[in-house]
Amino acid sequence: MSDEFYIKRCLELAALGSGQVSPNPMVGCVIVANNQIIGEGYHQQYGQAHAEPNAVKAVLDKYGEQAESLLKQATAYVNLEPCAHFGKTPPCADLLVKHQLKKVVIGNRDPFSGVDGKGIAKLKNAGIVVVSGVLDAECRHFNRRFFTRIQQQRPYVILKWAETANGYFATNDGHQKWISGALAKRLAHQWRTEEDAILIGKQTAIIDNPRLTSREWPGKNPIRLLIDKNLQVPQSNHLYNDEAKTIIFNEVKTDVAGNIHYIQMEDMHFYLPQKIAFQLYLMDVQSVIIEGGAQILKQFLEAGLWDEARVFTSSTSWNEGIASPVINGNLQEQVQVGNDKLSIYINDLNK
């Protein structure tokens, strides 16, 4: 099998950690000896063992006394450079050196300053053959949230909304009216399990009274983010319940009350997207879905502070309403989701 085959297998394994390892990257590891996979592992949970220790453990558990000799003739495949620093866990590069693997094949070099070539150097200095850059673009896209946080000091920003067939986003009179169907809603709940946080503004909170949880898909709830400058959303709102951590950006106070975290900001009418993005970066929030309302989405679009937009278009039309945000991005994909069409746009300027 080719190096590309095994790196693709690393990505399949790594994806099993989706939603569980942030702010770490998703990483999978495959160990091959005599053209056979002898061990596999992936990073399963933030703060716990990385992919390489889990793969090595699989070899040790399966092969017992034979394991050490097998590892000395083995090649380890990993979609991201093995770490070289002590964090929540010991350096993975040191573990591969300890077991004297013959070769290590890597997808991406790790851009994090604590690694960034240091893992590769440790392996090479120990006499291990290192090949890097295998499926580099594919691996980078896979961990695009991690790369964005490290290289741009902000979270990966996903805009999401639904619009009618003739381009309306919400009603004029402020009453809630569903646009997309049940399948679109379920898919949106799946997305919530995959991202760190979800953001809405005051008007959306008051009109829709959403829970912003992942109740229609198994997995974790995202951190709920609310922009409420003067704390006008009533505390009877669902966002104040204990189903998920909630952060409220406001100009009134900084405080913590149970799972509700108030973060005070100055002059929220100036550079709000940039301020929120930087605050989330400081809090190790690696990705955020922005669900509205129209003004919040428009601000992030105008600031160019978005990476991906997911837009559901209904088959129904309205006579009037608030116009949908105007997206200026590269249309990447269109798929049918029930009666709705999902369009996914990429902001090429942030690549």
How far, CA to CA in Å, does 48 sit from each of 51, 88, 179, 318? 10, 7, 41, 50
β-pair type (246-250, 255-257): unpaired
Cα separation of 244 and 211, whole Å?
A: 9
212 is in an annotated binding site: yes
> Annotated binding residue at 178?
yes
Q: Can you tell me the distance from the alpha carbon of 173 to that of 241, in angstroms, rounded to the nearest whole number?
A: 27
Backbone angles phi, psi at 148, to 5 degrees: -65, -45
Q: Is 29 known as a binding-site position?
A: no
- 3-class SS of residue 79: strand
50 marked among binding-site residues: yes
Judge if the upstream peptide bond of residue 293 is cis by omega within 30 degrees of 0.
yes
The DSSP secondary structure of 206-254, one letter per residue, reads: HHH------TTSSSPPPEEEEE-TT--S-TTSGGGSSSS-EEEEESS--
Judge whether 83 is annotated as a binding position: yes
Was 162 annotated as part of a binding site?
Answer: yes
- Is 215 known to sit in a ligand binding site? yes
Q: Is 197 annotated as a binding residue?
A: no
* Candidates 52, 194, 195, 308; catalytic one: 52
Sign of CA dihedral 172, 175, 181, 187: positive
Cα gap 131→204, rounded to integer Å: 50
195 labelled catalytic: no
Task: Please give the annotated binding residues for Zn(2+), written as ranges.
Answer: 50, 83, 92
Tell me which residues are annotated as active site: 52
Task: Please give the annotated binding residues, written as ranges.
Answer: 50, 83, 92, 162, 178, 192, 204, 208, 212, 215, 291
Task: Please give the annotated binding residues for substrate, written as ranges.
Answer: 192, 212, 215, 291
Task: Please give the annotated binding residues for NADP(+), written as ranges.
Answer: 162, 178, 204, 208
